Structure 1
Amino acid sequence: MAGIDSGLHLNAAHRRQWQNSIEGAPVSTFVTADFNTGNRGGIGLNMMADAAGLIKRTHLALSYAYHMPLSATRNQVLHFGLSMSFDFQRINLDKVDGDLNDPTLLAYNARDNYFGGDFGMAYTDDHWTIQSSLPNIRAMFTGVNRGINGGTLVYSAAAYKLKMEGAVSTIEPKVAYRAIRGYDDIIDAGVNVSFLDNLANVMAVYHTSKSVTAGIGVNIKKTAVIQLMYTTQTGGIKSYVDGSYEIGATINLFN
């Protein structure tokens, strides 16, 4: 949620298959930044580069969020967010094994870039985080949709943070629901446990696509955060390829 607290937050992540990667396996890189603008507002920038098979996709989004306090004593806040985005999709002709003058290939790369938008809402307090988002709301009103199978249609999640004393700082169970274009819906259920005043954390999530994500993280002087995660392959193809790993980093400035 852009600008949910003070300061500038920079995030980057990279995801790919671990070993025995098949040719054309997905590789994704993410970069985001958000800043609190004051007056309960925040702005954010999201950039994603993804390559899978012959298709290369770049997603750029600019976001604005408004954080409306509901109670000063319980830190109850209602959050609204809106993003404007551009999607660029192209076929990598350097990897095509065929006729590069094929009209279908040329027509795909000649398509106009796609403009879209996303909307999200969230509620937070000292314990609860409840959120929901609608990616690509433009398609709901215009009927024009260039989304591909595998894209998220609806995302909703709820988490409850238990504050502890001692070596364990917090325990936060979380459940999420994802409606996926062209596939069965997915439910994620997991828990994140923080230690030593949030100096380190471990997490695990089970996905109903028959895969599991596990990760560890470390918080360096509350300025830099490094996360490592591994996701096992989904049930149908785990006999053929390994799962994927993701490494992410966050830098918090001007807090």
Structure 2
Amino acid sequence: MKFKIPGMPKACFVILAVLCLGGNVAKSQSVLQAAFFQNQYITNPAMAGLTQGLNLNLGLQQQFNSVPGSPKMQNFTADYNSGGNVGTGLNVNNDQAGLISRTRIMATYAYHLRLGKNDKLNFGLSLGLNNVFIDYNRIIGDPGDGSVDKFNRRSVYVDGDLGVAYTSSQFTIQGAVPNLRSIFLKNDQELDALRNTFFTAVSYKLLLNNNNNFTLEPKVAYRGIKGFDNILDTGANLNMAEYNFSISGMYHSNKSGTIGVGINLKPVDVLLAYTNNTSSLNSYANNTFEIGLKLNLLNKE
């Protein structure tokens, strides 16, 4: 389905952008459930190459009853560590809400300083390109109207993320600052104002039996979005490695909750998650469904 914009003048285009903004608000307050336990590299570059081997991750989140223009998040990451202190990665995001699409491609360098057998101090830096544009294919309008062209002629810009983390076999504390460009340069692109400003998290893995194949990992995360209240995420992940199964749940302070189920089909991990959104943003982003796939290769440990 396409959006009809017959002979759209500049004023109408501005109004349309504001309407699309509602979908972007909903999208900006969402986060892939995989980022909490399955693939922490999504939100923190310090987690790239944390363990030996090659990790390939693919994630998709969209409304359970998807309608044209509803928010959709897609993510692909690849990170690698040969067994030393250096990790590298690639983080690709494509988000859509209304007519607005955002594509972000970041390359990551991470250094993992060993403090003990299982203790590491991790640093990560991502640099890459960010592009925000209107999808012509979803518009039926006057091809001579220059408003959309003007919007899309804005330059693709360089951006970056910075992250740090302390990790052990059980304890993790981390923090990340995304969208570094916004710190040094004032961004006059209004739709880019809906950006994440920071991400922090702490978790502790409880060993529930002597074989360490039953674990419970409570986690608390706190993240910021420019122009909106910060969001507190609390929950836990119960991992039953003996049965290749896990279940997780998170409550988000923007009045939404997520439950996820993980299945380990070695070397592939599958995550299925469902988010129930009860806030006022429900009209823009109804309950969402997410699928995450993780493939681990070249692991000699």
**What is the aligned counterpart of 2:132 among 89, 96, 100?**
89
User: In the TM superposition, what is the alpha-carbon distance from 1:197 to its structure 2 partner?
Assistant: 3.3
| Distance in 1 of aligned mates of 2:186 and 2:97 | 26
2:13 is aligned to none
2:207 is aligned to 163
The 5 A counterparts of 1:110-125 are 110-125=153-168
| Distance in 2 of aligned mates of 1:112 and 1:239 | 32
Cα separation, partners in 2 of 1:145 and 1:154, compared to 1, 3 Å: farther
2:175 is aligned to 132
Which 5+ residue runs of structure 2 have no aligned equivalent?
1-46
Q: Does structure 2 retain, via aligned residues, the 8 Å contact 1:214–1:231?
A: yes
Question: Partner amino acid for 2:162?
Answer: F
Cα separation, partners in 2 of 1:145 and 1:179, compared to 1, 3 Å: farther
**What is the aligned counterpart of 1:16 among 49, 62, 75?**
62
* 2:50 pairs with 1:4: yes
The 5 A counterparts of 1:1-255 are 1-19=47-65, 21-72=66-117, 75-144=118-187, 146=189, 148-165=192-209, 169-197=214-242, 199-221=244-266, 223-238=267-282, 242-255=286-299
Matched residue SS, 1:238: helix
| Distance in 1 of aligned mates of 2:178 and 2:285 | 30
Question: Partner amino acid for 2:201?
Answer: A
Matched residue SS, 2:169: coil
Q: Does structure 2 retain, via aligned residues, the 8 Å contact 1:211–1:231?
A: yes
Give per-residue Cα distances to partners, 1:9-47, cap 9 Å, x unaligned. 10001111002x343001222111011145400100111
| Distance in 2 of aligned mates of 1:213 and 1:169 | 22
Q: What value does the CA root-mean-square deviation take over the aligned residues?
A: 2.0
| Distance in 2 of aligned mates of 1:66 and 1:241 | 37
Give per-residue Cα distances to partners, 1:80-106, cap 9 Å, x unaligned. 000002112211123224433333211
Q: Does structure 1 retain, via aligned residues, the 8 Å contact 2:163–2:175?
A: yes
Q: Does structure 1 retain, via aligned residues, the 8 Å contact 2:49–2:81?
A: yes
Q: Does structure 2 retain, via aligned residues, the 8 Å contact 1:45–1:62?
A: yes
Q: Relative to total residues, which structure has the larger helix share, 1 or 2? A: 2
Say which structure, 1 or 2, has more relative contact order (CA 8 Å, 6+ apart). Answer: 2
Number of positions where the alignment pairs a residue of Structure 1 with one of Structure 2: 251
User: In the TM superposition, what is the alpha-carbon distance from 1:150 to its structure 2 partner?
Assistant: 3.4
Give per-residue Cα distances to partners, 1:115-142, cap 9 Å, x unaligned. 1011000001122110100001222223
Q: Does structure 1 retain, via aligned residues, the 8 Å contact 2:179–2:196?
A: no
Q: Does structure 2 retain, via aligned residues, the 8 Å contact 1:84–1:117?
A: yes
Matched residue SS, 1:148: helix
Q: Does structure 2 retain, via aligned residues, the 8 Å contact 1:139–1:145?
A: no
Q: Relative to total residues, which structure has the larger strand share, 1 or 2? A: 1
Matched residue SS, 2:148: helix
Runs (4+) of structure 1 exceeding 6 A deviation are none
| Distance in 2 of aligned mates of 1:7 and 1:189 | 30
| Distance in 2 of aligned mates of 1:28 and 1:122 | 25
| Distance in 2 of aligned mates of 1:177 and 1:237 | 20
Cα separation, partners in 2 of 1:236 and 1:124, compared to 1, 3 Å: same
